[in-house]
Amino acid sequence: MPVSGARAVEATRAPAGTLADGTAVEAITLKANNGVSAVILSYGATLQKFLGPDREGRVADVVLGYDSLSDYVDHPNYFGVTVGRYANRIAAGKFSLDGKSYQLPRNDGDNSLHGGGNGFDRAAWTVVSMKSGPKAEVVLGHRSPDGDAGYPGTLSATVTYTLDEAGNLGIAFEARTDKPTIVNMTNHAIFNLAGDGAPQGTTDHRLMIPAGHYTPVDGKLIPTGELRPVAGTVFDFRAPRRIADGLRDGADQQIVFGRGYDHNFALDAGLTAKPKLAARLEDPASGRVLEVLSTEPGIQFYSGNFLDGTLVGKAGHLFRMGDGIALEPQKFPDAPNHPDFVTARVDPGKPYRHVMIYRLSTAR
């Protein structure tokens, strides 16, 4: 659906393939005139591509992923997908709600991770609507039945991607339930601001996270319940610094547990009504800057520790440790089992909503 006007953002759609059950998958492209564009697959409500110029105007794709639908189906690794119902880990896959216990699939050792292995990232979402204009938009919908992957309540979820003329890619997650449940949705894009497949990886990127505390984990990567100050540790990103500086610090047991960074940061702003800055990532070589804004109280920083050279992505690029990093705004991991954490509970008549923004720009 083209749109007139030199500063309009265009939304278009095209076939992306077919799933084994015959379901057609679409690719929706949102394209601005400043060189920023995004491609969203209806399978997994996935951010397949996110392109932007460097300081010299050269455009590159800054998210890791695959060229074909079949690779997302056959070799899942959460590249750019929408994760849910519950992003991150739940200890032993168990939680209780109103005195009733629930058991989720365990797909991460003893834990349930990102919905238990058959979550929102494996669903064929429906394209509800799309439009071009000063802010292009596509709305994707999915219905998760009561008991799906062990979660209570029938959940009606939407993900709305928007792109404006300044290069802000917004992602709004909404969900409604017919009985009390837990919800924690986010996007799992893995970034390399030098460009997907760039040989230097991301360890020289500079990261800032406005968080005075983080949630340390045990050997199974489950939060202990403590909010630990970042001051004086390799988890202090309150001022921008190079990721590599703390990535191999084996003197910190937390880095050993995570094989690098795989930790939730408790953002100073907490839960907010409007998106606020949750992280700023910069690649000094290309000049590309990514700002992540969110309404959620935490952000998971994952330094690509489990990329082990077994996955071949776009244009035949082999993904290895440190080739990309994720910055995932969300509720805290295992929050249903920690009453002191911000609750992930969602009730009928009180919809879940999380709004986040990926803002691409350049620094000179």
Residue 257's SS3 state is helix
The label of the residue with tokens 């954490």 reads 341
Residue 328 is a catalytic residue: yes
Q: Is residue 311 within 8 Å of 266, Cβ to Cβ? A: no
Number of Cβ within a 10 Å radius of residue 18? 12
d(CA 42, CA 27): 6
CA angle 224, 267, 286 (to 5 degrees): 115
CA atoms within 13 A on the CB side of 322: 16
Task: Say if residue 248 is preceded by a cis peptide, omega within 30 of 0.
Answer: no
Residue 316 φ/ψ region, left for φ over 0, alpha for ψ in the -120 to 50 degree band, beta for the rest:
left
The token duo for 338 is: 């920690």
| 339 phi/psi in degrees, rounded to 5 | -60, -25
Query: Judging by DSSP bridges, how do beta strands 352-362 and 94-97 pair with one another?
Result: unpaired
Of 297, 283, 230, whose CA–CA distance to 261 is shortest?
230
Task: Count the Cβ atoms, other than its own, within 10 Å of residue 250.
Answer: 7
> How far, CA to CA in Å, does 203 sit from each of 245, 285, 308, 358?
8, 12, 15, 20
Q: How many CA atoms lie within 13 A of 63 on its CB side?
A: 28
Q: How far apart are CA 136 and CA 3, in angstroms?
A: 10
DSSP per-residue letters across 116-134: TSSSGGGSB-EEEEEE-BS
Active site residue 317: no
Q: Which residues, at least 6 apart from 199, have a Cβ–Cβ distance to it below 8 Å?
A: none
Nearest Cα neighbor of 276 from 218, 209, 199, 349 is 209
- Among the listed residues 188, 205, 263, 354, the single catalytic one is 188
Which H/E stretch holds residue 247? helix 244-247
| Residues acting as catalytic residues | 188, 328
